[in-house]
Amino acid sequence: MKPRHSSRTRRALGHLEGPVVTQGREDIAQRLATIMGGDMDESMARAHVHGFHAYPARMHPTLARRAIELLCPKHGVVLDPFCGSGTVLVESRLAARHGFGTDLNPLAVLLARLKSRSASAQQLQKLLSTAEKTVRHADSRRREKRGATQRYGTEDVQCFEPHVLLELDGLRDGIKQVHDEFVADALRLVLSSILVKVSKQSADTSSVLVPRRLAAGFTISLFAKKTEELAHRLDSFRRMLPPHAPIATVVQGDARRREGVSEASVHLVLSSPPYAGTYDYLEHHRLRLRWLGLPMDGLMQDEIGARRHAAPMSFSDALRRYYDDLSQVLAATAAKLVSGGMMAWLVADSVIGTRPVWAESLVRRCAERTALTWLASASQRRPHFHGPSQRAFAKQPRQEHIVVLGKP
């Protein structure tokens, strides 16, 4: 098939640009060209709930919506076994499909549940009124110079200016007094969303600390502002939902295990699994997990594709581990597909050490270990931003792919 061209303008969430090259079954390949090609509306990446809370490597909402509408039957069930912050679940509801998501990361589970739910006007009003009480509580502690409610370790002392740390402590202490589960979780996630912004971290995905001067009371004011913003985003999302929109369900779980979703109940698996040796979600979220009191053990031990796991291994051992993990994921999710159902995996070429991992062929090899059949793929060039491993793509450019597998 001839490449389908799109704008060369730099895009958010993956820098989506350039020709799309497809292969495989013609009818599916044409749909993949539509899904991956064309403009990816940058405003959609930040629209309604999508714009709440930073999360690395999110799927672009426009790509998710196109895939759901073109690959899942109307009123069907969509499963995202690596649901992250819930993009696929949000778009499934907007497209009148039932969404089911799992993730190993407890922060992701909280985020996906919040963003994909239909919060009523009454719930949002309670959220805002409770936030006001929390803000007053924290500000009162600040003005009275009451000190911290607990002893903080070196990590937090180094990461925050003393007055910022005390304001965060006051906010968290106020949130602990909230008994409504929805409101408490929403406020915890608002706190999570501002942690890096008020810390000395230079960026969300960086551990480098830089001086940051913030005025007294700024952190508390930012919390209030972000809560109002969240309420507005949740209200906008609710108003956009079609009548009787199916719900979305989110559970914490390991995608390699057959749990959480009934077998032969899913029409489309749409997901972007962790890329081999690319991210450390535990490190990205360690600060937030610690402040929200969420467990880290499962993510520390079982995270798939983590750079920290690959670093001490040889290339062949690290690749074999990733290959085995992804094969288990495919086998587990295949059991949940209906006969004739499809999987669409969004994957990108990555690097282990200094050597490239070609993602499209890897997924196809993993599928050969299951009852799944490769149907089609689409590929589009992507930049590679990790300086030390740039040479890995000197001869062949890095690409992102959608790989579609089918269950007979």
Mark which of 223, 238, 253 sits at the end of a domain.
238
Per-residue pLDDT of the chain in tens (408 residues, 90 and over written 9): 333 333 333 333 445 568 999 999 999 999 999 999 978 878 888 899 999 999 988 999 999 999 999 999 999 999 999 999 999 999 999 999 999 999 999 999 999 999 999 999 999 999 999 999 999 999 999 999 999 999 999 999 999 999 999 999 999 999 999 999 999 999 999 999 999 999 999 888 788 899 999 999 999 999 999 999 999 999 999 999 999 999 999 999 999 998 889 999 999 999 999 988 777 888 889 999 999 999 999 888 889 988 888 888 899 999 999 999 999 999 999 999 999 999 999 999 999 988 999 999 999 999 999 999 999 999 999 887 766 677 888 889 999 999 999 999
If asked whether residues 153 and 203 sit together in one domain, one would say yes
Three-state secondary structure along the chain? Answer: CCCECCCCCCCHHHHCCCCEEEEECHHHHHHHHHHHCCCCCHHHHHCHHHHCCCCCCCCCHHHHHHHHHHHCCCCCEEEECCCCCCHHHHHHHHCCCEEEEEECCHHHHHHHHHHHCCCCHHHHHHHHHHHHHHHHHHHHHHHCCCCCCCCCCHHHHHHCCHHHHHHHHHHHHHHHCCCCHHHHHHHHHHHHHHHHHHCCECCCCCCCECCCCCCCCHHHHHHHHHHHHHHHHHHHHHHHCCCCCCCEEEEECCCCCCCCCCCCCEEEEEECCCCCCCCCHHHHHHHHHHHHCCCCHHHHHHCCCCHHHHCCCCHHHHHHHHHHHHHHHHHHHHCCEEEEEEEEEEEECEEECCEEECHHHHHHHHHCCCCCEEEEEEEEECCCCCHHHHHHHCCCCCEEEEEEEECC
If asked whether residues 288 and 386 sit together in one domain, one would say yes
Q: How many domains does the chain have?
A: 2
Asked whether residue 50 is domain-assigned, the answer is yes
Asked whether residue 261 is domain-assigned, the answer is yes
If asked whether residues 127 and 206 sit together in one domain, one would say yes
Mark which of 212, 238, 264 sits at the end of a domain.
238
If asked whether residues 54 and 191 sit together in one domain, one would say no
If asked whether residues 345 and 388 sit together in one domain, one would say yes
Asked whether residue 6 is domain-assigned, the answer is no
If asked whether residues 253 and 232 sit together in one domain, one would say no
If asked whether residues 158 and 193 sit together in one domain, one would say yes
Q: Give the pLDDT of residue 3.
A: 39
Asked whether residue 125 is domain-assigned, the answer is yes
Q: Give the pLDDT of residue 388.
A: 60
If asked whether residues 190 and 139 sit together in one domain, one would say yes
If asked whether residues 313 and 388 sit together in one domain, one would say yes
If asked whether residues 165 and 212 sit together in one domain, one would say yes
Q: What is the CATH number of the domain that holds 32?
A: 3.40.50.150
Mark which of 181, 210, 238 sits at the end of a domain.
238
If asked whether residues 258 and 376 sit together in one domain, one would say yes
Domain that holds residue 95: 12-117+244-406
If asked whether residues 72 and 146 sit together in one domain, one would say no
Asked whether residue 20 is domain-assigned, the answer is yes
